[in-house]
Structure formats: structure tokens, C-alpha cells
Amino acid sequence: MNRIARETVSPRPRVPSREGLADTPFEPRLRALSTAEDWMDWSGCLSPRALGAVETEYFAIRNQATLFDVSPMHKYRVTGPDAERVVNRLVTRDVARLAPGRVAYVLWCDEDGMVIDDGTLFRLGPQDFRLCCQERQFAWLHDIAWGFDVAIADETGDVAGLALQGPTSHAVLEAAGLALPDLRPFGIAEPEPGLVISRTGFSGDLGYELWLRPEGALALWDRLWVAGADLGLRAIGFAALDIARIEAGFIMAGAEFQPIHRALRPSRGRTPFELGLGHLVDPGKPHFNGRRALLREAARTPRRQLVMLDIEGTKDASGALVYHRGRREAGHATSAVWAPTAKRNIAFAELDARAARSAGLRAEIYTLKEGRWERTMASATVIDRGVFRPPRARATPPGRF
């Protein structure tokens, strides 16, 4: 008889910081490096928006190596005889094709085909998975797993995470005695007991993520910090990483889409096809949540489309309304930035699907200059996502610089 082992692993007790948010295992090192004192709430944890100058931190991602604390991410472990079946029922991709020791970008939907969240799925063994995501999913995972022989554990407080990103990131690992020259993108390795390293990240550059128990977090930080002293290693906050991820063409929950479980209005939900992620939906695999709705959606033209725009000029188009042929409102920018490395003014934008396939788009940009708002109608063109795709991000073995 099938059963479900409802194993609830309570996160480690979190000591509130002086800001009233929980400290992560790396907080002492981040606090000591902070000159900006610019902190933010990330899933109830204290996280730096910036430790110093955002521009300096961004250019460190693209020219050196950086450390970013990803411990606040929600992390769930799914194990047991039916683990693959449960995870395959959850996500829209076919997990059976994901080999042990590999990572995949995944998303999952409700019964109406609306995206609940996206994240990375680590296959640690034949029936052993870890799901990392932005939104709390513990209750939803149990709903999906009802009747299956699996154990589900919330590992959020029991696994510390550190993103090491940038062109010298592997050189830092090498100097720290953790060289992984044969690790391919989206691969997983365990160079030492208790330390898992994946070649993943949110920067679009060469990079790694390191996962370990919280009690070893500060020792790992110090080890990398010493190893990276001559390689430009710098700690960064979210603001710099946000620039990098837009430049790389990576979407983010809460910006490019509203997770449907958090939305107050069903109309705020978005399907994978509307987000331009229809290639992540595998209709040929066994049943998964939202399959019927997504099959119907695949057979028709989406109502709206998430695209990337190349916008005239250098003025940041954050929050801009987008018009078709200068008259009809066609959508709005969800995230925007002047891409410093690519030297292009870009934005993610949610547009009416017909407008997304047409020319004649203009972005209405307002800029505050000396107490006065100036309005610009800048021409915009739909382009492929991601204006920064360096070969070094995929090179195996990676270059030293």
C-alpha cells in the first residue's frame, strides 16, 4: 500500500537580527563588510541589498569573483521509492531525463496551468531530490505527494548556500583546494564530505553554488576569502546581482511574474507559454499538475507575452508603459536596466501578444531631473533574451580568468 511519510524537519532556530529579521549563517562576515548598511528582507532573513557601491559590486561579477549569500532560499528534500514520480508530477519538465548528479531549471503550475514558482532541481541520487525556490512550497509538496511513498523535508534552515560567481570563480576554488575542472554547467560534485558544489548561478557568468551545514559556513567563507585575496574576490548584495540577471535574460518571481499562490486575483497568474517558457512543458511525459490546462494553452495563441526589449537611449525604463505605434497601450516593463557590459538599454516587458510580434513599439519613460519629471517616448524593439552570454560561462574546463 502506498503511503506518504510526512517528515517535517523544522528549520534551525533563527536568532532575530537587530533589524528584526533572521540572521543567516554568513551574517557575521557580511555585517563586518557592510559600509552601505543597506539591508532587505529575503524570505524573513536579513540579506544585503548592497554592501558598498552597487556599481563596484556589479563589475566584480563581470571581471573578478563574488560571494553572494543564497541561504534564505527555500530548500526541500524529496526522497523515497516514489520520489521521481512525485517530482515528475510536480514540475512541467520530464524529470526521468535528469541524471543523478545534475541540476535542472524547472517550474510548476496549479491545475489551471498558472505558474506557482520556478527554481532549480538537484538530483542527488536515483530517488533523492532537492528543490530550491523563492516561495514557500512545503504544504504544496505534500498535496502533490499524497498517497506516494516519499519523505519530504524542509531543509531551509539546515543548508547554508553561497554563490561564487565571476570569471575568476574557478580560480578561487582552485586556490582553496576545491578545483573542479571537469564539472560541466548544471553538474554537481562533492569534493569534500559535507560540501556539495553545483555549477549553477543567477549571474549568467562562470559560477558555482556551494551547499553545506550551517556550522561550517564561516570556515568556508574564510577559506574562500583567503584564497580569493589575489583574485579580486568581493562580497556583493542583491542589487548588483539583479543587474547581472537581467543582462543575462533570467526572469524572477515577483518581478516578471506573480506566483499564483500569492496572487489575490486569478487574472494575475501567468502560464509558462505567456512567460516564453513553453519549451519547459513536456506534454509527452506522465501526468503532471496543470497538464490539461497547458495542453489547451499550447493549442492557442497566448493573450500576452513576456519579451525582452532593446530600448533607445540610456534612460532606465523601469515601470515604463509600452505603446504600440505610439497610441495603444500594449503592456509594461517588469524589470529594466542599462546593461553596463553589453552597453544596451534593456527591459523585460509583458506585452499584448499581437504587439509583441509587431514593430512600432515605444516605451514611455519618466526621469526625475532636479525636481522635475521629464517624459521620453523611446523606440523599443523585441530581441532575444539575454544580451550577455560569454563563452567562459560554459567552458569546460573553465579558464583561470
Query: What confidence score (pLDDT) does residue 127 get?
Result: 98
pLDDT digits (tens, 9 = 90+) for 150-181: 999 999 999 999 999 999 999 999 999 999 99
pLDDT digits (tens, 9 = 90+) for 27-75: 999 999 999 999 999 999 999 999 999 999 999 999 999 999 999 999 9
Residue 69 lies in a domain: yes
107 and 141 co-located in one domain: yes
Q: Which residues are annotated as a binding site?
A: 209
CATH number for the domain spanning 88: value is 3.30.70.1400
What is the SS3 assignment for 153?
strand
Query: What confidence score (pLDDT) does residue 326 get?
Result: 73
Torsion of CA 220, 222, 223, 227, to 10 degrees: 140
Query: What confidence score (pLDDT) does residue 400 get?
Result: 84
CA distance 389 to 262: 32
What is the DSSP-derived secondary structure letter of residue 10?
P
Contact 250, 204 (CB under 8 A): yes
Pick the last residue of a domain from 230, 248, 266.
248
**Over residues 4-8, mean pLDDT:** 43
In whole angstroms, what separates CA 158 from the centre of its chain?
A: 20
CA distance 216 to 214: 5
Residue 127 lies in a domain: yes
Residue 290 lies in a domain: no
334 and 355 co-located in one domain: yes
CA distance 251 to 316: 18
Closest CA to 295 of 270, 259, 271: 271
Query: What confidence score (pLDDT) does residue 288 get?
Result: 96
Would the pLDDT of 147 be above 50?
Answer: yes
**Over residues 201-208, mean pLDDT:** 98
Q: pTM of this prediction?
A: 0.93
331 and 227 co-located in one domain: no
47 and 169 co-located in one domain: yes
Element (H, E) at 83: helix 83-90
311 and 371 co-located in one domain: yes
Query: What confidence score (pLDDT) does residue 5 get?
Result: 43
Cα radius of gyration rounded to whole Å, the chain: 21
**Over residues 1-5, mean pLDDT:** 39
239 and 310 co-located in one domain: no
Q: Residue 98 corresponds to which amino acid?
A: L
CATH number for the domain spanning 371: value is 2.40.30.110
**Over residues 291-303, mean pLDDT:** 93
H helices of 232-330, in order, are 238-248, 291-298
Q: Residue 269 corresponds to which amino acid?
A: G
pLDDT digits (tens, 9 = 90+) for 317-335: 999 999 998 789 999 999 9
Q: Which residues are annotated as a binding site for substrate?
A: 209
Lookup: cell for 111: 491545475
Range of the domain at 57: 27-73+157-248
Would the pLDDT of 266 be above 90?
Answer: no
Query: What confidence score (pLDDT) does residue 10 get?
Result: 44
CA distance 303 to 389: 29
Give me the numbers of helices (H) and strands (E) for the chain, helices first please: 9, 19
pLDDT digits (tens, 9 = 90+) for 339-392: 999 999 999 999 999 999 889 999 999 999 999 999 999 999 999 999 999 999
**Over residues 6-26, mean pLDDT:** 64
Residue 20 lies in a domain: no
- Mean pLDDT, the chain, rounded, equals 94
Pick the last residue of a domain from 131, 154, 177.
154
Residue 213 lies in a domain: yes
Q: Residue 299 corresponds to which amino acid?
A: A
